[in-house]
Amino acid sequence: MRADRLVAALLLMQARGRVTAAELAEELEVSVATARRDLEALSAAGIPVYPQAGRGGGWQLLGGARTDLSGLTADEAQALFLLAGPAAGAAPEVKSALRKLLRALPQTFRADAVAAADAVLVDPAGWGDREPDRPELVRALQSATVRRRKVRLVYERRAGERTQRLADPWGLVDKDDIWYLVAGTERGQRTFRVDRIVSATVTDLPFERPEGFELARAWERVVGEMEQRRSQTSATVLVAERFAPILRDHFGRHCESEGSPAGGRADGRVSLRVAAPTARSLAEQLAGWGAVVEVVGPAPVRAELARIGAELVERYGE
């Protein structure tokens, strides 16, 4: 399209300062006559582009004028290159997009943008392992999300039951190498684990995202609901202060200090509140700590620990 060529011509002049019709023709893969007409069209449109005849001549922006087609501030440009830069090595299309964007940035922004792109490297492969690839199903769902097309899903529940859904793919989330699809259904918003999607057929049926929908906020609500279900049962435990960081690391956000700000006591132990979905699951996680952890309550968790202990004594008492 001619509009694309005109923008490309302007960016090239910004990058090089001066170009000839022949150089522009080679860059844009058009004839010299077409390139010259494009340069004349820029001048006629009021953009300060003018030709300079003679040896070393060409077309350039009047007085070194600059045009920031990106509209980005310096901080925004650095943030974008910092986020996208690590992906450029594995995704040629990202590298190409960054190269084009770099041309659109003002000269004063470019050095910091390039430095930001080189500041972080993401190496997803383990030592000696094959580099993991994004699942093909994720690519198909991502395409449907971008194109705003409904998908027919065959989904397998945890119990093995399979159901069919017609869903609006609103967005994809990668959490700890597990992909989730946040989608709209006839029953409202639903979240699907991609590894439980048996098949996904992209249809020609269009959909629109709900007004004001933001994937980040929607995912925050999903995480909040999930964490609430995972912390329905809590217990108060006492543990030596030196073991408290290990226990906190094990339970993560489901471990909080009780009592004083640090949870400290006169005997050198700290009081912590830990949580899990059920009393049994909580007891199973605490049983491995043995006498290092004292469970103060509640009674159902202590009872489950006693049951586990009795089973272990019966099996291994001799």
Range of the domain at 106: 74-117
Strand partners, 151: 167, 202
Q: Is residue 275 part of a domain?
A: yes
CATH number assigned to the domain comprising residue 191:
2.30.30.100
**Same domain flag for 177 and 208:** yes
pLDDT tens digits for 211-248?
888 888 888 888 888 777 777 788 999 999 889 999 88
CATH number assigned to the domain comprising residue 286:
3.30.70
Most confident of 69-73, 202-206, 211-215: 202-206
What average pLDDT does the chain have? 78
- Structure confidence at residue 106 as a pLDDT band (50, 70, 90): low
Top-confidence residue, 85 or 239: 239
11-25, 30-44, 110-124 — which is least confidently predicted?
Answer: 110-124
Residue 78's pLDDT is 63
**Same domain flag for 263 and 213:** no
Half-sphere CA count of 314, side-chain side, radius 13 A: 6
Average pLDDT of span 1-26: 74
Can you spell out the DSSP letters for 53-93? -STT-EEEEGGG----SS---HHHHHHHHHHHHHHHTT-HH
Flag whether pLDDT at 88 surpasses 60.
no
**Same domain flag for 21 and 88:** no
Q: Is residue 210 part of a domain?
A: yes
15-29, 57-71, 232-246 — which is least confidently predicted?
Answer: 57-71
**Same domain flag for 180 and 208:** yes
Distance separating alpha carbons of residues 149 and 184, to the nearest angstrom: 12
Question: Domain boundary at 178, 211, 227, which?
Answer: 227
Residue 183's pLDDT is 93
Flag whether pLDDT at 131 surpasses 60.
no
What is the number of domains present in the chain?
4
**Same domain flag for 100 and 24:** no
Q: Is residue 46 part of a domain?
A: yes
Flag whether pLDDT at 9 surpasses 60.
yes
Can you spell out the DSSP letters for 196-219? GEEEEEEEEEE--PPTT--HHHHH
pTM: 0.50
Q: Is residue 221 part of a domain?
A: yes
User: Would you mind telling me the total number of residues written for the chain in this entry?
Assistant: 318
Strand partners, 181: 172, 192
Flag whether pLDDT at 301 surpasses 60.
yes
**Same domain flag for 286 and 250:** yes
Flag whether pLDDT at 80 surpasses 70.
no
Average pLDDT of span 25-34: 84
**Same domain flag for 237 and 256:** yes
Q: Is residue 124 part of a domain?
A: no
Residue 41's pLDDT is 77
Question: Domain boundary at 206, 227, 248, which?
Answer: 227
**Same domain flag for 270 and 288:** yes
Residue 249's pLDDT is 87
Sign, Cα dihedral of 14, 17, 21, 24:
negative
Q: Which residue has the tokens 């699951």?
A: 281
pLDDT tens digits for 168-199?
999 888 887 788 999 999 988 999 999 899 99
8 phi and psi angles, rounded to 5 deg: -60, -40
Question: Domain boundary at 64, 87, 108, which?
Answer: 64
Q: Is residue 140 part of a domain?
A: yes
- Structure confidence at residue 280 as a pLDDT band (50, 70, 90): very high
Q: Is residue 194 part of a domain?
A: yes
Q: Is residue 131 part of a domain?
A: no
**Same domain flag for 145 and 210:** yes
Strand partners, 178: 175
**Same domain flag for 195 and 113:** no
**Same domain flag for 106 and 171:** no
**Same domain flag for 214 and 253:** no
CATH number assigned to the domain comprising residue 60:
1.10.10.10
